[in-house]
Amino acid sequence: MKQDATIQSVDFKIINTPASVYARSGVFAQRVIEQKLIAREKLVFAVKQKLNFLQTSH
């Protein structure tokens, strides 16, 4: 993050409304948890790749 950067708020309704509809669609809680874990693993992997790239590009 840059010093003195402007931080904009996220419109959480854009994220939460579809998530709420999906959660109430009859999907099993276990499936939602599995999907969340997969998404989290992908995010962690992407961040690690970015860090590795930054560390090796000096």
pLDDT per residue as tens, the chain (58 positions): 577 888 888 899 999 999 999 989 999 999 999 999 999 999 999 999 999 988 898 6
How far apart are alpha carbons 45 and 7 in whole angstroms? 25
pLDDT of residue 25: 96
pLDDT value of residue 32: 92
Buried b (16+ CB within 10 A) or exposed e, 26-55: eeeeeeeeeeeeeeeeeeeeeeeeeeeeee
Contact 19, 10 (CB under 8 A): no
**Tokens of residue 36, six digits:** 């969340």
- 56 contacts 47 by C-beta, under 8 angstroms: no
